Structures are given as C-alpha cells and as structure tokens.
Structure 1
Amino acid sequence: MKKIPLIPYPKQWVFHEEPLVVGVLRLRGDPCFLGVLRALQEEIRVAFGEAVLAPLSREEEIAYGQRQGPDAVSLFGGNFQASQVPVVPLEIRKAGTSLSEGYRLEISPEKIVITVSGSVEQSPSEVNREKELAAAACATVIQLLHFGWDGWRFKIPCGVITDGPSLEWRGLMIDTARHFVPPSELKKILSLAWLYKINRFHWHLTDDQGWRLELVQFPELTEIGSQRNGGDPMRNGLYTQEDIREIVAYAADRGITVIPEIDLPGHAQALLASHPEFSCTGGPFTVRTEWGIAEDVLCMGNPDVLPFVKQIWDEVCELFPGPYVHIGGDECPTDRWEACPRCRSKKESLGLEHWVDLHGYFIREITDYLTQKGKTVFGWDEVLDSTLPNGCNVVHWRAWLDEQSKRALAQGRELVISPSFPYYFDFVQTQNRRQSPGIGYRSPAAASLQYVYEFDPFRLLMPSNQEAGDASPAPMTLRKSPGFDTEGAVALAAGRFRGIQANVWTEFIRDPRRLEYMMFPRLLAIAETGWNGAGRSPYGDFVERLTVGHTGNGRGILSQRAVNYCPRYEGSPEGS
C-alpha cells in the first residue's frame, strides 16, 4: 500500500487491505471526551461539509452524556439522507490501563475505535493527558479523512495505529504584544496546531510595545497599554476576558493547554505607561514604539511593586485554569536599578552581591507565590543568571549559551528547549528576500525547514565534548550511548526534560497572513520532532509527506485550509 503522508507519522501502523468506506460519522465516547468530540465534529464540518443528522438514540445520549444536539457530521456537501451513504460509528474509549504508547486507533470495515491509555483512578494531570491523547488520535482521523477523499465518500485504510508522543511538551509561542493577532486568527492557528499534535500554546500577552490582557482590577493596563502610536495596522488591540475564556476553551477541546506569559520585571514599558510610579524614575512613559530592549523596568526598591504584580497574577490564574504559567524574566537590564537609591537600599537589605540578584529576587518571589497557588512556573533561561536560588522552571532560548539546558536540569528544574536558532520563526526560512522578507539572513537561511527538522534538541543535554549525532537518546527508551550524559538520562526518566517549542516574535510580522507564512510549514517540523523524537524519519521522507499531503498541488491540507505557507524549502546551514 502506498504510504499515507501523515504528519507526524505514527510509531506503529499495521495495514489491512480492505478499506473503510465513510459517508457519515456518528460520534460517541466517554463523557470526559465530550469536548474532543465536539471539536472533531466542528473541524469535520469546516473541512468537509455540512451536517447530516445521524443522531444517537436517547439511551445512547444518556449513556454517553451527549445532549448537545446532532452528533453526526457529513463528509461532503449536499442534502443526502443517512440511508444513502455509509454511516460509520467513531467511539473514544478509556483503556482502563496504561497502553505501551498512548492511544490505539483501530479501523475496521464497520467502525473506528480510539482507545486512550489511562487507569481508573487518575490525578488531574493524568486526566488532561487522556484528553490530549484523544485529541491527538482525532487529529490522525482528520488527516486520514483528508487523504481518503474518493469523489463523494472517503476510503480509509483499515488497520491498527499504536502511537504516542516522545516528548510531552510540543509547544508554540506567539507574541501578540508587538502586533495584535485577532482571536479568529488565533483559533485558526490552534486548529492547525491540533491537526499536527501541537499541545502547548504559550501566549505572550505583554511587552514594552503592548499590554493585551484585559484585567477587571486594573482596566487602565489595556485602556492605555493596548494602544501605541504609529502606522502599523495591527499595533492596537486587546483580548477581553470573554475572548480569553473562549480561546482557552477552544484550545482545551483540541488537547492544547494555554500558558499565559506576563513578561516582567523587564519588557514593562506598556505597564509603566499607565503606572509610572512602579518605575525607578517616575516617568512619564508611553507605550514603546521602537523594538529592542527598553532600559526602564519595574523598580525593585518600591514596596508596592510585588503586591501589584501578585494581584495581576491572581486574576490571570482565574482566567487560565491550566497547570502552567510563564513569568517572562528575559532581557532585564540593571542600569536603572544601579542608579536608583531605593533599589540600592533593597539590594543592601537583602545582602545581595550582584545587581542581577535583584532580578533573581523578583523571580523567586513571584515563582513562590504562583507555586503556592498550584501552578507550575516557567520563565526564560535568564532565571538561571542570578546566584539567588529560585524554583522557576526554564524555557531555554539563548542558543549561544548551550550550557543553560544542562544547568537547569542539574538544578532540578523542568526544561523546555527552544533555541533562537533554529526555533525562532521570526527568522527567515529562505534567502529569497522577495518571498521571505524578515530577519536573520544567512546563507543558507537562519531557520530553514531542513535546519528546523534536523536540529537535535538532545545535543543540548550532552556533555560539552560529545557530539550529538547517533548518540542522541531516544526519548522514553533512554538508550545509552558512548559519552551519553547520565544527568540527561536521569532527567528524561524523571520527566524534567519536558519537550520543545517554536517561538514566533512579531516585531516584523504585521498581519495574519505574514504570521502564517513564517509559521508554516516549519511548525510541522517541530511537530514531527516533538512527537517522534530521535526516532523520526530522514528529512527527505518528511519533505515527501509534506509535499504530497500538506502543501503540494493546491490539494494539501494547508492549501485546502487557505494557509499562507512558505512554498520554498532550503537546505540546512553547514555544521548545524
């Protein structure tokens, strides 16, 4: 049988010759999967056509907790009666025990059954993982439907897929502070991210150039901070609390956890525009219109700063019920602190040796506060720079400091690897300046598709004198290799190395089409790496699947969904 171009590709797939013919899907499952089923129904309607009613019986509705209306969706347009087309049940079940991978997708000539790993007694994190696995399995079904179109029906190969992620955290960060991204575009991106099994949306909501999050306690933050001078059409905008709740729920139904980022104590000028009293100089300030790093930051000598920030986080935590938060902490210059009498006094009273330790003090206080609220706290890898201990987990972005990942693990922190090269998607993917205007021009491109795909995040866990190559550990199996870092193996086994993440900064991304262009198809390379880890196929196989099923000839998934993806793929920088 011809290889079906799924991305990510399943770990195990046993085919049978006889296909399943689908005209209408009848969806059902355990009540805990109702959100996933609702998302699957919505996605199939959007992708393939209007509803054909094939409702469950009342007894089935009661048994499965489905009282939300029709549960069957048409896979084509037109007014067909259910009796005219093959009606196929799709059910999501709990396994009751742990499976060897994560989920099992069984396709027979009569039905589709998804079985998700999980025990009867579960913690909240285990319940969330169940939903993520169910969503991942449904994403596979959507891709199979797309590739199985046969005129007026769908033919899907029968067989059994046994699959699961190599890395728990397969993330995407979008900066909505520099340029506002409308909620409708975020939903489109989240829908696509789900289709490729991305399961973390890191939402950068605040920066020097914009404060986008509406807070009831402090309406002035968005009244002033969501607007800035200039001519960019997407420079202004805010997310209401209704927007936030809707997007969080939309993502959750698709197995995606939203991680809010409030970036402090640096990158604070949009906040200081409405609260200059929290600066070292007293202002006045406007929302910053230039890119780069602003020297004005929160004053660590002002006793009202920390209570104010904690009040902000109180409301943020109510809006974002997920287990993770991100407190920023990057690029915080100390110049203002060094010239500030109150900051000098604070440094002396705390017995701190270095000015950067004031940054560590802030990170420690906010991390401890949020940890007490039950959150798992992440920050950029600058949280490691202070000699003052703090318990903040790490997103390693500074690619030129490759020891940061090992430092984080050695200190018992959880780690997400997200190096600026090649996982910053504001850097260009081709050298064609007409097709790919942006930053990071090199020869070849700074963050080409091949570079993103072939980059080995596990090499950042290796000893400094050890090249990655074949010595990279296969996630979950922890195979040992000559020179393999024992600390890295222990961290993987303990789950402290959580995964990888692509970051999209938007200083030079001024509209949604440009955002899509910079993200796709590179996000698919992140998805394949995060799902299959060191066991992923060679780049050539990935590109073949990408071209056949996702970008090529106007019939691929990205084309069908009107995604403005970059059509060119270039080679990887030498020595990368």
Structure 2
Amino acid sequence: MSKLRSTLAGALLLLLSARTTPGHAINIIPQPSEVKTLTGTFTLSGATAIIVGKSAGEANLLAQALQESYSLALPLKPSAKNNYIRLTLNPSLKKELGEEGYQLQVSPDHVDITAATNTGIFYGTQSLRQLIATSGNVHTINAVAIKDKPRFGWRAFMLDEGRYFKGGETVKRLLDEMALLKMNVFHWHLTDDQGWRIEIKKYPLLTQVGGKRDSTQIGTWNSKVFDGKVHEGYYTQEQIREIIKYAADRHITVVPEIEMPGHSSAAIAAYPWLGTTHQAIKVPTSFGVHYDVFNVSDPKVIAFLQDVLQEVITLFPSKVIHIGSDEVRYDQWKADPGVNAYMKAHHLSSPADLQIAFTNSISNYLAGKNRRMTGWNEIMGSKLHEYTDSKDNTVTEKLAPGTIVQFWKGDLKLINDAVSKGYDVVNSYHALTYLDYSYQDISLEKAYNFDPIPAGLDPKYHAQILGTGCQMWGEWIPDVKSMNRQVFPRLAAYAEDGWSQTANKNFTQFQQALQYFYTRWDKAAIGYNK
C-alpha cells in the first residue's frame, strides 16, 4: 500500500508540475502545436546514449550535430537504463500525428522522441537541438512535453541557379538550414534564359554552351552596364545524385524545375532548332523577358523535351516535376507561319490555348511516368503581364487535371479560380514570399505574418492549399554573401508560416527563438540580415 501511495503521489506531483505554456511560448522554430513545461532538467553529456531503434539515419545525424555544436561524442546503443535519448517508431501514432508529426518528452533522466515515421523522428531531433542551453561546459535541457505536427505538407524553399550558379556546398548548407527549420521541399530552378545547370547526357551542348555566358547585366532592370566577366557552371548527374541523397537523408524532397516553353534561351543557344526562328543566338547576358521560346508546334522540339524530362525523372525520385511555364512572350509564336498553321489545324484560338495544349501534352507524358506536373500560375492561361494582349489570353483549352498550380502573381481571386476547378495550389505570392525583394518591401515581420490560405477563401477549399514556397530568385544575387543576406533570417519566418498553426504564432516569441539561429549563423559565418 505504501508503494502505491508513493506512486500515486509521484504521478500527482508530475501532473501538478506540468502546464501548457501560454501562447505555446517555447524557443523552437517553427513553434510546436502543443507544449507542456515540466519540472527539472536533463543534462546532456558525452555519456548520454542515443538509443537508435529503427532510426539509424536520424540517430547518426543527431550524433553528428551534437558533435559539431558541442564537441560531444554520444554513443549509439540498442538500450540504456538512464541518461539516454531514445528514438522510437510507433506506427499507431500516424492517425494523430500524420507522416511528419512527433512527440518529444524531456525528463530529468532521459529524453524520448516518438513518431509514426522516421520523418517525424527527424523533426523531433531538430526541436531537441534548439532546446539545449549551455553554461560553460554544461549542456542542459529543461523538462518539457511536446506534441507537434505541421499545418501544411508543402514547405518549400526555391533556389534559382539559372541566373547565377552557386555550387554544391552552398546547396548543402541551405539544405542543413531547411532541415533544422523542418522545411521539406527544395525547389531547384535549374534552367533559365541565362543558364542551363543540369547535365543532360543526350544533349551535351545544353551545359557546354548553355551553361556559360560571356558577361552579366548589373545594376537594375534597365541597366546598360555589364560586368564583362564570364559566368559558368553546371551540375553533373553524379553531383545531382549526391545532393538528392543529402536532402533525402534530411527528409527533404528535391523538386527540379526545367523551364518550358519560355525562359528557354540557354537551351536555344545550344540547339538553335529548338526556337521559332532557328537562328543562332548567344546565351543572354541581360535579364528580363525578351527572348525566343521553344517552338512547341515542332514534333522534334517535343521529342527533345521528353528526352530531357526522361533523364530528369531518372535522376530525381520526386513525384512532382516543375515545368515553369511563366512569362511566355507570345510574339515569336504569333510571327511564325508554322506555329500559326499548327494552331489553325488544331483549332487553338489563342497563344494561351497553344501553351495550355502544350502543357497538357507534357502533363500526359509525366503522368505516364508516374509523375505529377506543377508550374507557375500562367499555366492556367491567365493574363498576368502588360506585354500580353488580352486577345492572346482567350482560353478554351482546360489545364490537365491533377496539375499543381504555384500561384505567384495576379489577383488573389485567381487562387479561388484554381481551387474551384479542382486544382491544388502552392501559395507563393510574390509580394509576400520573394526573397530577392528588399527588407523594405518584405520585412521579417511581414514575411512572418504571411498566411498561405488567403483571407476569405471558402473553408471547403482549404485542403487544396498544399502549402507555401519562398523563392530566392537570382538575377541580382551574384554571390553567396548577397544570397545569405536575402535568405536569412526570413527563411525561418517562412518555415513557421508553413508549419505552425496561426493561433500558435507570435512574432515577439519568434524573435526570441531566433537567438539560437543567430548564434548558429554567426558561428558558421552566414552573413544574415541584421
């Protein structure tokens, strides 16, 4: 009886010591769903074991992170009586926590991370890392119970390397920061007018010619000043495989973007027969929307694009392939007799209809390879640009079902139009998510307050908002230093936009939690915006 009283008293004491933190105020980004603070602290030391369970990859990455940050070499063990961090898979939690959720319990003598999948285990370890407090050589974690899962399943960061090649080590560093922030999609913009950055073995000139330009416009959009420096670079397929694995180990899916039918001048410079004029051009040195586009009425061009996509599909495990489709100037198509004859023969009423018909053919090709197509919201045929005549956007064709529409420009009612027609949407509205914009245009607080679900959207469509992406466009970002300033700390804000429930967000608390990252970025010499 005395043992029973003691057990009950201990349980009551634990219950009384636990409380839900007001406003979920804990220094973790993104802010978790549920937090209870408990009594006591756990001391992390070199004697602390990591109990691996069925999560060897996640255990190894946790051990590596603790070694790098605190010079602690934690042993990996199958079991321990106390002083351990235990990783446990429990598939029955999937109904409650989904594929990415986790439970984290810190007690004075051990830490438990439990999830339905290893993705959840990994995210639990990322939260644990942010809870470690250091005083001298002593590392402690306050006792806490966390139950957490994401609001959205698509939490993306996009890097444009078509304009400026950044290289594998930079990409890996970005993936590390994404992983710590529980972002799960790396959207890799690999081709554009100014550069082709992915090796395609069947068409070697894409990188040999398209991966290099003679000079680059500097200053502003209308600048006549050029730097006079050759810029070049591309990824071999082996390098891409290495980056894909690096990302997958951190539970990040790499979604490649291969631009078509516009933003294609680097490819046309390599193979002039891809364009409407068949004239030899150089890889453009200035930015903007001025150039030739793929001649989608030519069966040889379609075969080329399918060949490229086949190599892309073979490389990338992602079930989603991005085809761009933004900012297509119709001037070249309108001026080409062959394109006009094709449109007439196929009863296409406008250049926008031609683009949708082309896009649907690509969608059908990808679907046959068990892949899903996504593209920027011009993909629906909407008039978004002043250089497009309204009559050129007369649309009778319907975009292929199953397409993911990445919204970036136009009236927000276009999102409603997309979801009401059954399409899923990734909300990347430029005025709120473009990382190349200045901090005066998109402050940290403005980025933090972005809600991927637009105000007024009918709740019956909320599930069709897959999530959000923040975009690091590269026209005026020539080096890693300037990129880092634009990305950090706003990346953390967008991570919380994608993960945390609106009711749990608090900008003041977020700023406090950022101190962990500021210390981390200072140590890593990542020059963030201050």
- TM-score scaled to structure 2, two decimals? 0.86
Deviation at 1:303, TM superposition (A): 1.4
- SS of the aligned residue for 2:89 comes to strand
d(CA) in 1 for partners of 2:249 and 2:238? 17
d(CA) in 1 for partners of 2:228 and 2:141? 46
Contact persistence 1:17–1:158 (CA under 8 A): yes
d(CA) in 2 for partners of 1:220 and 1:37? 43
Contact persistence 1:300–1:346 (CA under 8 A): no
Equivalent residue in structure 1 for 2:408, among 370, 378, 397: 397
Unaligned runs of 5+ in 1: 61-71, 73-85, 118-129, 430-444, 464-484, 568-576
- SS of the aligned residue for 1:225 comes to coil
- Aligned positions of 1:541-560 closer than 5 A: 541-546=509-514, 548-551=515-518, 556-560=519-523
Contact persistence 2:434–2:473 (CA under 8 A): yes
The amino acid that maps onto 2:244 is: V
Contact persistence 1:550–1:557 (CA under 8 A): yes
Equivalent residue in structure 2 for 1:23, among 24, 28, 45: 45
- SS of the aligned residue for 1:7 comes to coil
Residue 390 of structure 2: aligned partner = none
Residue 222 of structure 2: aligned partner = none
Equivalent residue in structure 1 for 2:357, among 357, 361, 373: 361
Within the alignment, does 1:207 sit opposite 2:198 as a pair? no
d(CA) in 2 for partners of 1:419 and 1:355? 25
The amino acid that maps onto 2:484 is: E
- SS of the aligned residue for 1:155 comes to strand
The amino acid that maps onto 2:154 is: W
- Aligned positions of 1:458-469 closer than 5 A: 458-459=453-454, 462=456
Deviation at 1:136, TM superposition (A): 1.5
d(CA) in 1 for partners of 2:397 and 2:357? 7
- SS of the aligned residue for 1:112 comes to strand
Within the alignment, does 1:521 sit opposite 2:489 as a pair? yes
d(CA) in 1 for partners of 2:93 and 2:230? 49
Equivalent residue in structure 1 for 2:434, among 421, 424, 435: 424
The amino acid that maps onto 1:347 is: M
Equivalent residue in structure 2 for 1:350, among 346, 351, 357: 346
Within the alignment, does 1:317 sit opposite 2:313 as a pair? yes
Equivalent residue in structure 1 for 2:123, among 136, 147, 158: 136
d(CA) in 2 for partners of 1:534 and 1:279? 47
- Aligned positions of 1:241-260 closer than 5 A: 241-260=237-256
- Aligned positions of 1:408-423 closer than 5 A: 408-423=418-433
Deviation at 1:55, TM superposition (A): 4.6
- SS of the aligned residue for 2:481 comes to helix
The amino acid that maps onto 1:135 is: F
Equivalent residue in structure 2 for 1:491, among 442, 447, 461: 461
- Aligned positions of 1:67-86 closer than 5 A: none
1:417-476 C-alpha deviation (Å, 9 max, x unpaired):
0011020010100xxxxxxxxxxxxxxx2111111112333225x25xxxxxxxxxxxxx
- Higher mean C-alpha displacement, 262-271 vs 378-387: 378-387
- Higher mean C-alpha displacement, 6-15 vs 409-418: 6-15
Residue 565 of structure 1: aligned partner = 528
Deviation at 1:294, TM superposition (A): 2.8
Deviation at 1:341, TM superposition (A): 1.2
Distance change (3 Å), C-alpha of 1:48 and 1:242? farther
Deviation at 1:349, TM superposition (A): 1.3
- Aligned positions of 1:148-227 closer than 5 A: 148-227=133-212
Contact persistence 1:47–1:561 (CA under 8 A): no
Deviation at 1:268, TM superposition (A): 0.3
The amino acid that maps onto 2:506 is: P
Residue 111 of structure 2: aligned partner = 112
Equivalent residue in structure 2 for 1:9, among 27, 31, 42: 31
Unaligned runs of 5+ in 2: 1-18, 216-226, 382-394
Residue 301 of structure 2: aligned partner = 305
Residue 442 of structure 1: aligned partner = none
Deviation at 1:397, TM superposition (A): 0.5
Equivalent residue in structure 1 for 2:236, among 224, 237, 240: 240
The amino acid that maps onto 1:237 is: G
Deviation at 1:108, TM superposition (A): 2.0
The amino acid that maps onto 1:162 is: K
d(CA) in 1 for partners of 2:112 and 2:370? 35
Distance change (3 Å), C-alpha of 1:29 and 1:375? farther
- Aligned positions of 1:50-65 closer than 5 A: 51=73, 54-56=75-77
Residue 263 of structure 1: aligned partner = 259
Equivalent residue in structure 1 for 2:417, among 407, 410, 432: 407
The amino acid that maps onto 1:563 is: I
- SS of the aligned residue for 2:131 comes to helix
Deviation at 1:406, TM superposition (A): 1.1
Deviation at 1:302, TM superposition (A): 1.2
RMSD: 2.1
- Higher mean C-alpha displacement, 282-291 vs 92-101: 92-101
Deviation at 1:350, TM superposition (A): 1.1
- SS of the aligned residue for 2:164 comes to coil
Deviation at 1:30, TM superposition (A): 4.5
Within the alignment, does 1:455 sit opposite 2:440 as a pair? no
d(CA) in 2 for partners of 1:184 and 1:536? 35
d(CA) in 1 for partners of 2:482 and 2:228? 13
Deviation at 1:283, TM superposition (A): 1.5
Distance change (3 Å), C-alpha of 1:232 and 1:18? farther
d(CA) in 2 for partners of 1:112 and 1:144? 12
The amino acid that maps onto 1:153 is: V
- SS of the aligned residue for 2:60 comes to helix
- SS of the aligned residue for 2:43 comes to strand
d(CA) in 1 for partners of 2:62 and 2:301? 45
Deviation at 1:221, TM superposition (A): 0.8
- SS of the aligned residue for 1:457 comes to coil
1:495-541 C-alpha deviation (Å, 9 max, x unpaired):
42100110010111111111111001111111111111422323233
Residue 38 of structure 1: aligned partner = 60
Distance change (3 Å), C-alpha of 1:162 and 1:534? same
Residue 473 of structure 1: aligned partner = none
Equivalent residue in structure 2 for 1:296, among 292, 295, 300: 292
- SS of the aligned residue for 2:273 comes to helix
Deviation at 1:190, TM superposition (A): 0.8
1:393-435 C-alpha deviation (Å, 9 max, x unpaired):
111000x321221111111111100011020010100xxxxxx
Deviation at 1:98, TM superposition (A): 2.6
Deviation at 1:196, TM superposition (A): 1.0
The amino acid that maps onto 1:490 is: K
Deviation at 1:44, TM superposition (A): 2.7
- SS of the aligned residue for 2:248 comes to helix
- SS of the aligned residue for 1:314 comes to helix
The amino acid that maps onto 1:508 is: W
Within the alignment, does 1:100 sit opposite 2:102 as a pair? no
Distance change (3 Å), C-alpha of 1:342 and 1:533? farther
Distance change (3 Å), C-alpha of 1:306 and 1:373? same
What is the number of equivalent residue pairs in this alignment? 477
Percent same amino acid among aligned pairs?
A: 30
Deviation at 1:347, TM superposition (A): 0.4
- SS of the aligned residue for 1:96 comes to helix
d(CA) in 2 for partners of 1:195 and 1:428? 25
Residue 219 of structure 2: aligned partner = none
Residue 89 of structure 1: aligned partner = 85
